[in-house]
Structure 1
Amino acid sequence: MLSVKEISKNFQELIVLENINFEVGDKEIVAIIGPSGCGKSTLLNIISGLEKADMGVISGAERTIACVFQDDRLLPWRNVWENISLVREEEDRVRIQELIEAVGLKGFETYYPKQLSGGMKKRCGIARAFYYQGELLMMDEPFQGLDYSLRREMMQMLLKIWKSNKQSVLLITHEIEEALTLASKILVLSGRPGSVVKEYVLPGEEGRDPMDLGLHDIRKEILSLIME
């Protein structure tokens, strides 16, 4: 379990995060949603150790962490297979091929990033993160810039792999529909300085229909909180 307690972060005079508290349970997908500039990516950087908090305590981050970033961060001189395999010292060829097929890249194993579409690059980045086998998977806007149909396809792909791995996932997103579909629970951050203003434990299983009438009030309330 990841536990975040009383986390605050300033950049000189700018207060970015203030008194952040939440937990990510084992095999749980927690989505963080909030307005632009509220410190979502900064929070992920603190949890991963790329930034240092000014106050607060994080426990559980000593577990192995895999990351999927907004940009794909593939090495241009390595092909799809090589970009996935580089995160582990010993190459598990069976597992790599399973993941390549799971993300829909079968037949593109020897293709280089410049030969791939934006969506295919994101698929490769997701396969690499799952191949790393981190106990916690952190995803920062992994489907940003994709059109609606491709984003839906990628979400279903992610859920299929997650259900076979059951890692804990911390997902940053701007999309309410994305959070309602994928998450076990949703944290809504306020505008800067970011703080948790509401936590929703979602009904049903991950992969739910975000337009379900049972989610109408939650969707409406989240939108209202973000607009504030």
Structure 2
Amino acid sequence: MRMRRAGRELSLSWPTLLPKPEVEGAVATYPSVLPGVDLRMTAQADGFAQLLVVKSAEAAANPELSELRLELDTRGLSVQETSEGGLQALDEGAKGAVFEAPKPMMWDSSPGDSPAAAQSRTTAAGETAGHGASATGAEEPGKEPAAGESGKLAPVEVEVPDGQGELVLTPDADVLRGEDTAYPVFIDPQWHSPKATAWTMVSK
């Protein structure tokens, strides 16, 4: 994944060679980047969403999922963690945010019982709720729950070690491998340009 803006560049790479993707519209799915784990990339108007789909308990037991290390490369940017647990790619000169990443989230396929989850299951058909997956109702066979519909939702810890050469994601162990976890499990980091850059004003 590579993003460019105003002469600044940020790229993230999977640490091993990726398989040929299956492309449908704006979504490219790379099957089996780890055994039983797909990588799903979605292009957006102001960035991209990256979704790891962990399909089974056997796949979740892979120790490589305990800490995910993505190769990070930047040009004219410094990547820093925010107080909210996300990331900012700051222009090295102006110190303004060129790209942003909210705190990553992960969730399983169990149905949630909160009022928000119940409402989203009955009213959000065809829309997107929270992070990542399509909000078409967790109780429907073959449908993926969105973050707000899941019974198990947790943040993913994120770190940029000294040297700025890696982005390290640490998934929540209970969501990933809990006894009551329902698979697939979804891990959803995403990057975008600051929201204000998508605004415009027309006077006539």
* TM range, smaller chain: under 0.3
> Which structure: greater strand fraction?
2
Report the TM-score when normalising by structure 2: 0.26
> Which structure: greater helix fraction?
1
Structure with bigger RCO (C-alpha 8 Å, 6+ apart): 1
Report the TM-score when normalising by structure 1: 0.24
